[in-house]
Amino acid sequence: MIASPEPLTSDLRVDGVRLLDRLRVLGEVGSTGDGGCARLALTDADRAGRDLVLAWMEDLGLEVGVDEIGNVVATAPGTDPDLAPVMCGSHIDTVRTGGIYDGNLGVLAGLEVLETLATAGIRTRRPLAVAFFTDEEGSRFAPDMLGSLTYVGGLALEEAQDICAVDDGARLGDELERIGYAGPLPCPGVVPHAFVELHVEQGPVLEAEGIHLGAVTGVQGISWQELTITGQSNHAGTTPMAHRHDAGYAAARIATFVRDLATELGPPQVATVGRIELHPNLVNVVAARATLTVDLRHTDEVALGEAERRLAAFCEQLAADEGVTITSVLLARFEPVAFDPAMIALVEASATELGHSVRRMSSGAGHDAQMLARVCPASMIFTPSVGGISHNPAEYTAPAHLEAGANVLLAVLVALAEVVS
Amino acid sequence: MIASPEPLTSDLRVDGVRLLDRLRVLGEVGSTGDGGCARLALTDADRAGRDLVLAWMEDLGLEVGVDEIGNVVATAPGTDPDLAPVMCGSHIDTVRTGGIYDGNLGVLAGLEVLETLATAGIRTRRPLAVAFFTDEEGSRFAPDMLGSLTYVGGLALEEAQDICAVDDGARLGDELERIGYAGPLPCPGVVPHAFVELHVEQGPVLEAEGIHLGAVTGVQGISWQELTITGQSNHAGTTPMAHRHDAGYAAARIATFVRDLATELGPPQVATVGRIELHPNLVNVVAARATLTVDLRHTDEVALGEAERRLAAFCEQLAADEGVTITSVLLARFEPVAFDPAMIALVEASATELGHSVRRMSSGAGHDAQMLARVCPASMIFTPSVGGISHNPAEYTAPAHLEAGANVLLAVLVALAEVVS
């Protein structure tokens, strides 16, 4: 718990055009040609994005370090070298059909804040750091938020290095070496004085209520499972329906159950089957094997556990009914996180001070800030997502909202780092 | 309609060990290491299988021809050069998880019959031909039975050549050239006097009833559709259930509907979703797009059409409910086929004459014989499939049943081709 800082009253503002320019230029790296981005963690496209942001960090004269899991931290020194840094940041990896704001905003707004302060000749007692963490999305290597989890000591480095990609099976440690981001700094890393992350909401709430910004109170718990169903491949024309052990049908039953479960339990329960793969995956063969993922999220740990239990019971009954076997591997499991009350209050007060409407809200998505919250006071600032669209090339946040978020980030960071001149 | 021939009474029998040997050797080409085979049409493995069987044909001194769609026909001359040949055959391509009997049996038993006759010095008035047809399975290029369909003029050569593979998108005509099987003989090909195909049942009926052989009366109608669902990709954690347009969920609903439909309509209706693909297919992204196939089969054309209509109506309602679009492409559509009564009677009488129990039955799977039935009298001989298992490495038919089937093929062929010495 940090001492409750007061929001900074100042006329200092970020350069919104410069921020937007950097977002656009980074968005061209791994562009999908439809306004979106595909920079899956530790791919060549991710390397190109990293190289670009790292060059920008160096251009600003920041001290840049890369740690053993590929997290990159750029630091502007404080006047008191003994004090822990105030850190902001997020991630620059994307899902395969990502937008240009998710993650990138928090990193580039952090850079924009440091450039604004440097240009204005403002120094702080504490060092100010901006970080981007490896593999936040978890699309290529599970669990998600892998880099920040390792940074805070929640996952052993060696264990993280041995994780294999879901797409091509590549080992994470090898991929880090391959793209040149297996750095020398140790994991776990330096514990910040506090951490704040600016991020797009990725949901419809702020836009629907006409509110500029969110002060994030915490993050939903996440349960990711991979289910593997083994049935029996057979001829689609000659095998009577009653004789089938159809792994594809069982996968479909789980996918519809998961939707029914979330609907029955009601908000804030959400549940998704985003990945299904059949084998041999042919039109005229009853599937022998199916792999699918289930993503369950809830703000309450007890409720999340209950959803997991209901799914397990359904799978057990389904396996018996269909004569298939169903095994489950937990890909990621994070309990709900509550952010530091003083940090939440600081975000809220800073937004109000700058004339923006703001509401407290929890996050439906996982974020690096929830990992940092394990070791230091943390919170987040949300900007509206038009239509609630996220993980989609059509993801969009209005420039005025991006700038508002960056200005609140500026205010929060200087309040925490204590301006000396 | 052919004149009703009498079954041949003779002591001549095939060499069952030699037949089994050839099945085993061909089964090693494209072996999946678990007793199964993967020789998808026009792949390198298919080429290797073709080269092997073609070499065997040439070793027997047969006249071998390859046509423009890659069908291979080996012919032993008759004493009357003006008569149309009696043809047998099947296919040697397999599904990705195929067994060693499906298709291969009909081709290698045909070779075995020709070798038996040659060894015994028996000549026939009509030429005797054994063929293997391109892409019977349709696993790589839809529709199935593509080679025999083109052989009888049911599909234009140019249209067939332009079909692209579902796995790697390769063009069929290019693949034929690549593996060296774009032959000079014209399509449509020579119309045979009659056609008979020996094949494993691929279903459980013969084994369950303890009957040696089946005299096949016809083939189920087949309807293959590829459905494409377009929804909206979104974040799995932040998108409320009610706001989703989830293509993956819609695909799952169709897969469970298809099972329910077949169960409600009852045998002989069968219905299968064997292929499902999601995009972007990630754990934490609501799927933007899904592609799935539906395989519907029935012995009655009116009933098959009714199943198609029920599926279309369900998809229309589902699209409205979920706010997704669903489009359908017909990959294959074959009406039920009735074989020639005299040919069925000949198969039945020949089996009985040789001391085998035999029953009339329809085929649940599509076969090349149904295409040949468009241009000449045709029928099939079925051997039992243990456990009804098919399109599976565990596919198995006992050696005694393989030999029984080949001996009935021998008897039917010589009856049709008329022994002169």
What are the helix and strand counts (H, E) for chain B? 12, 16
Say whether A272 and B281 touch across the interface (CB within 8 A). Answer: no
CA distances from A318 to A206, A245, A322, B145, B409 (A): 40, 11, 6, 35, 45
Q: Which of B334, B359, B387 is the last residue of a domain?
A: B334
Say whether B241 and A263 touch across the interface (CB within 8 A). Answer: yes
A-B C-beta contacts closer than 8 Å: 258
Give the nearest chain B residue to A99 (CA atoms): B234
Closest-CA distance, B211 to chain A, in angstroms, reads 17
Residues of B in contact with A286 (CB under 8 A): 272, 274, 391
- Cβ(B78)–Cβ(B66) below 8 Å: no
- Nearest to residue B375, comparing CAs of B183, B201, B150, B109? B150
Block residue for tokens 């998809």:
B315
Q: What is the ipTM of this complex?
A: 0.76
Q: Are strands B289-298 and B270-272 parallel, antiparallel or unpaired?
A: antiparallel
Both B306 and B366 in one domain: the answer is no
Block residue for tokens 């041995």:
A162
Say whether A234 and B293 touch across the interface (CB within 8 A). Answer: no
Q: What is the C-alpha separation between A109 and A132, in angstroms, rounded?
A: 12
- Cβ(A413)–Cβ(A192) below 8 Å: no
Say whether B295 and A236 touch across the interface (CB within 8 A). Answer: yes
Q: Is the pLDDT of residue A9 over 60?
A: no
Q: Is A302 on the interface with B (CB under 8 A)?
A: no
CA distances from B177 to A142, B39, B140, B170 (A): 43, 17, 16, 12
pLDDT of residue B340: 97
Give domain status of residue A348, yes or no. yes
Among B272, B298, B396, most A C-beta atoms within 10 A, so best to mutate, is B272
Block residue for tokens 């089969």:
B297
Say whether A255 and B274 touch across the interface (CB within 8 A). Answer: no
Q: What is the C-alpha separation between B402 and B410, in angstroms, rounded?
A: 12
- What angle do helix axes A16-27 and A44-59 make, rounded to 10 degrees? 150
Q: Which of B287, B319, B334 is the last residue of a domain?
A: B334
Q: Is the pLDDT of residue A179 over 90?
A: yes
> What tokens appear for A77 in the block?
């020194």
Q: Is B286 on the interface with A (CB under 8 A)?
A: yes
Both B319 and B373 in one domain: the answer is no
Say whether A232 and B256 touch across the interface (CB within 8 A). Answer: no
Q: Is B104 on the interface with A (CB under 8 A)?
A: no
Q: What is the C-alpha separation between A55 and B300, in angstroms, rounded?
A: 69
Single-letter amino acid, residue B107:
V
Query: How crowded is residue A186: how many other Cβ atoms within 10 Å of its Cβ?
Result: 10
Q: Is B146 on the interface with A (CB under 8 A)?
A: no
pLDDT of residue B4: 54
Candidates B97, B232, B243; nearest CB to A285? B97
Q: What is the C-alpha separation between A46 and A35, in angstroms, rounded?
A: 17
Both B230 and B208 in one domain: the answer is no
Both B91 and B236 in one domain: the answer is no
Candidates B282, B364, B389; nearest CB to A139? B282
Q: Is A392 on the interface with B (CB under 8 A)?
A: yes
Closest-CA distance, A119 to chain B, in angstroms, reads 37
Query: What percent of chain A is modeled with pLDDT above 70?
Result: 98
Strand partners, A362: A218
Q: Is the pLDDT of residue A270 over 70?
A: yes
Q: What are the residue ranges in chain B where pLDDT is below 50?
A: 1
> What tokens appear for B93 in the block?
């391509």
Block residue for tokens 């479909």:
A252
pLDDT of residue A6: 60
Q: First CA to last CA across chain B, in angstroms?
A: 26
Give domain status of residue B2, yes or no. no
Give domain status of residue A117, yes or no. yes
**What values do phi and psi take at A242, rounded to 5?**
-70, -15
Give domain status of residue A11, yes or no. no
Both B174 and B213 in one domain: the answer is yes
Q: What is the C-alpha separation between B20 and B249, in angstroms, rounded?
A: 47
**What values do phi and psi take at B409, rounded to 5?**
-60, -45
User: Cis link prior to A280 (omega < 30° from 0)?
Assistant: yes
pLDDT of residue A372: 98
CATH number at residue A198: 3.40.630.10
Give domain status of residue A5, yes or no. no
- Nearest to residue B23, comparing CAs of B127, B124, B107, B138? B107
pLDDT of residue A111: 98
Both B204 and B133 in one domain: the answer is yes
Block residue for tokens 């120094």:
A123
Residues 45-74 of B with CB under 8 A from A: none
Q: What is the C-alpha separation between B46 and B62, in angstroms, rounded?
A: 21
pLDDT of residue A184: 98
pLDDT of residue B5: 58
Both A195 and A292 in one domain: the answer is no
Provide the whole-model pTM.
Answer: 0.76
Q: Is A291 on the interface with B (CB under 8 A)?
A: no
Single-letter amino acid, residue B118:
A
Closest-CA distance, A9 to chain B, in angstroms, reads 33
Say whether A283 and B224 touch across the interface (CB within 8 A). Answer: yes
Q: Is the pLDDT of residue A85 over 60?
A: yes
Residues of B in contact with A267 (CB under 8 A): 240-241
Q: Are strands B325-334 and B221-230 parallel, antiparallel or unpaired?
A: antiparallel
Burial class (CB in 10 A: 0-12, 13-18, 19+), B421: exposed
Say whether A390 and B239 touch across the interface (CB within 8 A). Answer: yes
Q: For every residue of B24-46, which 3-state class applies, written as one string?
A: HHHHCCCECCCCCECCCCCCHHH
Residues of A in contact with B239 (CB under 8 A): 203-204, 270, 364, 388, 390
Residues of A in contact with B272 (CB under 8 A): 236, 246, 284, 286
The total number of structural domains that make up chain B: 2
Give domain status of residue B250, yes or no. yes
Q: Which of A309, A334, A359 is the last residue of a domain?
A: A334
In tens, the pLDDT along B346-367 reads 999 999 999 999 999 999 888 9
Query: How crowded is residue B84: how many other Cβ atoms within 10 Å of its Cβ?
Result: 15
Residues of B in contact with A287 (CB under 8 A): 274
In tens, the pLDDT along A194-215 reads 999 999 999 888 998 999 999 9
- Nearest to residue B2, comparing CAs of B78, B82, B117, B86? B86
Q: What is the C-alpha separation between B289 and B250, in angstroms, rounded?
A: 10
Please, what's the b/e burial string for A95-106 (b: 16 or more CB within 10 A of its CB; e: otherwise)?
bbbbbbbbbbbb
Q: Is B299 on the interface with A (CB under 8 A)?
A: no
Question: The domain containing residue B273 runs over which residues?
Answer: 221-334
What is the arithmetic mean of pLDDT over A225-238? 94
Cα–chain center distance at A75: 22
In tens, the pLDDT along A339-376 reads 999 999 999 999 999 999 999 999 988 999 999 999 99
Say whether A276 and B278 touch across the interface (CB within 8 A). Answer: yes
**What values do phi and psi take at A282, rounded to 5?**
-125, 150
CATH number at residue B288: 3.30.70.360
Both B349 and B210 in one domain: the answer is yes
> What tokens appear for A175 in the block?
């991929």
Say whether B238 and A363 touch across the interface (CB within 8 A). Answer: yes
Average pLDDT, chain A: 95
Candidates B234, B251, B366; nearest CB to A390? B234
Q: Is B24 on the interface with A (CB under 8 A)?
A: no
Give domain status of residue B31, yes or no. yes
**What values do phi and psi take at A118, rounded to 5?**
-65, -45
Q: Is B225 on the interface with A (CB under 8 A)?
A: no
Both B269 and B411 in one domain: the answer is no
Say whether A280 and B96 touch across the interface (CB within 8 A). Answer: yes
Both B46 and B191 in one domain: the answer is yes
Closest-CA distance, B34 to chain A, in angstroms, reads 14
Q: Is A299 on the interface with B (CB under 8 A)?
A: no
Say whether B282 and A388 touch across the interface (CB within 8 A). Answer: no
- Cβ(B193)–Cβ(B412) below 8 Å: no
Say whether A263 and B251 touch across the interface (CB within 8 A). Answer: no
Query: Angle at CA A290, nearest 5°, toward B96 and B304?
Result: 70
Query: What percent of chain A is modeled with pLDDT above 90?
Result: 89
Query: Angle at CA B365, nearest 5°, toward B193 and A280?
Result: 130
Give domain status of residue A3, yes or no. no
Residues of A in contact with B233 (CB under 8 A): 97, 391-392
In tens, the pLDDT along A272-331 reads 999 999 999 999 899 999 999 999 999 999 999 999 999 999 999 999 999 999 999 998
Say whether B253 and A252 touch across the interface (CB within 8 A). Answer: yes
Q: What is the C-alpha separation between B267 and B337, in angstroms, rounded?
A: 18
Q: Is the pLDDT of residue A421 over 90?
A: no
- What angle do helix axes B44-59 and B104-119 make, rounded to 10 degrees? 10
Both A213 and A247 in one domain: the answer is no
Q: Is B293 on the interface with A (CB under 8 A)?
A: yes
Both A237 and A202 in one domain: the answer is no
pLDDT of residue B241: 93
Say whether A96 and B137 touch across the interface (CB within 8 A). Answer: no
Closest-CA distance, A95 to chain B, in angstroms, reads 8
Alpha helices in B6-156 (DSSP H): 16-27, 44-59, 104-119, 146-151
> What tokens appear for A160 in the block?
């993280």
Q: Is A243 on the interface with B (CB under 8 A)?
A: yes
Residues 181-210 of B with CB under 8 A from A: 201-204
Q: What is the C-alpha separation between B381 and B113, in angstroms, rounded?
A: 14
Q: For every residue of chain A, which 3-state class applies, written as one string?
A: CCCCCCCCCCCCCCCHHHHHHHHHHHHCCCECCCCCECCCCCCHHHHHHHHHHHHHHHHCCCEEEEECCCCEEEEECCCCCCCCCEEEEECCCCCCCECCCCCHHHHHHHHHHHHHHHHHCCCECCCEEEEECCCCCCCCCCCCCHHHHHHCCCCCHHHHHCCECCCCCCEHHHHHHHCCCCCCECCCCCCCCEEEEEEECCCCHHHHHCCCEEEEEEECEEEEEEEEEECCCEECCCCCHHHCCCHHHHHHHHHHHHHHHHHHHCCCCEEECCCEEEECCCCCEECCEEEEEEEEEECCHHHHHHHHHHHHHHHHHHHHHHCCEEEEEEEEEECCEECCHHHHHHHHHHHHHCCCCEEEEEECCCCHHHHHCCCCCEEEEEECCHHHCCCCCCCCCCHHHHHHHHHHHHHHHHHHHCECC
